[in-house]
Amino acid sequence: MRRRHAHAAIRYALAVGLLAAVGPTSCSAPRPEARSPKPDAPKIAAAANLNFVLTQIADRFASDRGKRVEVVFGASGTLMRQIQDGAPFEMFLAADEEFPARLAAAGLTRDDGAVYAVGRLALFAPSGSPLTVDDRLDGLSRLVKSGTAGRFAIANPDVAPYGKAAEAVLRKRGLWDAIRPRLVLGDTIAQAAQFASSGDTVGGLVAFSVVLAPGFADRGTHAVIPDADYPPLRQRMVLLKNASATAADFYRYVLSDAARTEFEKYGYGIP
């Protein structure tokens, strides 16, 4: 897959905190005590689209249960490989079902886990972009045909399920071949959202949950892509073989009504 390198300006972090989600070693919670968890806090690997919602859930878990977890965000495929290589994670929340299934097949998990949420994809264009936003990508198609599309951001389909979903949407709308040379690929969906909102691209296909993050929607316009346009983003989580009692408790908490409320607030479907 051909990659286009982004201009240096789009490397700057979003004011709403997206930079914390870009790298696979970013921690979840914005407060100092959460960024420096107690040594015995279990490490939780989580897909980057969960940056905001899982931070809220982890905070509620700490308040309700008096226990802390350290959440590390990254691309699902990258986190899976880290787990295969022995990274000390105790739980994995992916953006799809494929990557947890691989770990289960390799005997690295306690069981097959559970689907905890269903993600959604959105088209986003920053303020001032020539892209007219609509759920069928007609505005993007017009820009492509006119030769004025500029660069367009998605997550890397090789490691990010939301990137794979974005590719499926672009293929369905007959835009993939034409727009592929113009793509700016984020290592995670959070980085793709950073690129899409930077003003150095005409926009991008990003996680709806990121669009709903505080302050993000004010940076431009968006449209939610119909679920039928891409394979379902059924997000599965698994406990790893070495999971502690605290990690197991957090796993159950993610399936609780309190967590479901947070997922719904950020636009996720509940299985």
Quick one: how far is CA 65 from the chain centroid?
Answer: 26
Q: In angstroms, rounded to a whole number, what is the distance separating the alpha carbons of residues 168 and 114?
A: 25
**Longest CA span, the chain:** 58
**228 and 139 Cβ atoms separated by less than 8 Å:** no
Can you list the domains of the chain with their CATH numbers? 8-14+119-229 (3.40.190.10), 19-118+234-265 (3.40.190.10)
Give the least confident one: 25-39, 92-106, 146-160, 179-193. 25-39
Question: Which DSSP category does 228 fall into?
Answer: G
State the pTM of this model. 0.84
- Could you give the dihedral angle defined by the CA atoms of residues 176, 180, 183 and 189, in that order, rounded to the nearest 10 degrees? 50
Q: In angstroms, rounded to a whole number, what is the distance separating the alpha carbons of residues 99 and 118?
A: 15
- Average pLDDT for 51-80: 97
**118 and 53 Cβ atoms separated by less than 8 Å:** no
Q: In angstroms, rounded to a whole number, what is the distance separating the alpha carbons of residues 223 and 138?
A: 12
Give the residue from 243, 245, 152 showing the smallest Cα distance to 201: 152
User: For residue 83, what pLDDT band results from cuts at 50, 70 and 90?
Assistant: very high
Quick one: what percent of the chain has pLDDT higher than 90? 82
Q: In angstroms, rounded to a whole number, what is the distance separating the alpha carbons of residues 19 and 73?
A: 11
Q: Please report which residue ranges of 147-188 form alpha helices under DSSP H.
A: 161-172, 176-179
* pLDDT at position 193: 96
**139 and 132 Cβ atoms separated by less than 8 Å:** yes
* pLDDT at position 39: 52
User: For residue 38, what pLDDT band results from cuts at 50, 70 and 90?
Assistant: very low
Helix axes 245-254, 257-265, angle to 10 degrees: 60
SS3 57: helix
- Average pLDDT for 5-23: 37
**120 and 208 Cβ atoms separated by less than 8 Å:** yes
SS3 158: coil
Helix axes 257-265, 51-65, angle to 10 degrees: 150
CB atoms within 10 A of CB 87: 16
